[in-house]
Amino acid sequence: MLKEFKTFLLRGNVVDLAVAVVIGAAFGAVVTAFTTDLLNPLLAALVGKPDFSAYMLTVNGSQIQFGLFLNALISFLLIAAAVYFFVVAPMSAILRRMNGPVVAAPPSTKKCPECASDIPVAARRCAHCCVVLEQARGASS
């Protein structure tokens, strides 16, 4: 049983997942520090302190603190923007440069000139209307 447990732990996907969780937590701390220490003060300098925590609505004696939700929403949007513009977009550009241009695959189907249905490129006769295709006649002679 211990041997099976050791095999389970040393499988590639378990180790990869553990590394991803640790790196994700560290990256989350970096992104949170970036947004709280750089983006939020910059936003506060431009439009004033973006703090909505005091906004609330009282209904039948219950307080609905929608300002806290607005703070969380703004924080999420700032973190998402920081991740996209400083991680996703640059990594996509780097991968495009490394992989080169994407070459389109040659088409695997063509249109029948008679009934306009899709047929395989190598077909000599349309399966739908049974017309003999010109390219196939010229290629076989």
Distance CA 48, CA 42 (A): 9
28's tokens: 């989350």
Q: 109 vs 20, 113, 137, CA distance in Å?
A: 42, 13, 18
Task: Look at residue 12 in the predicted model and tell me its pLDDT.
Answer: 67
Chain mean pLDDT for the chain: 81
Task: Give the position of tokens 């440069």.
Answer: 97
Task: Look at residue 59 in the predicted model and tell me its pLDDT.
Answer: 92
Domains of the chain, residue spans: 2-99, 109-140
Q: Which residues of the chain have pLDDT under 50?
A: 136-141
Task: Give one DSSP letter per residue of 43-77, joined into a string.
Answer: HHHHHS----TT--EEETTEEE-HHHHHHHHHHHH
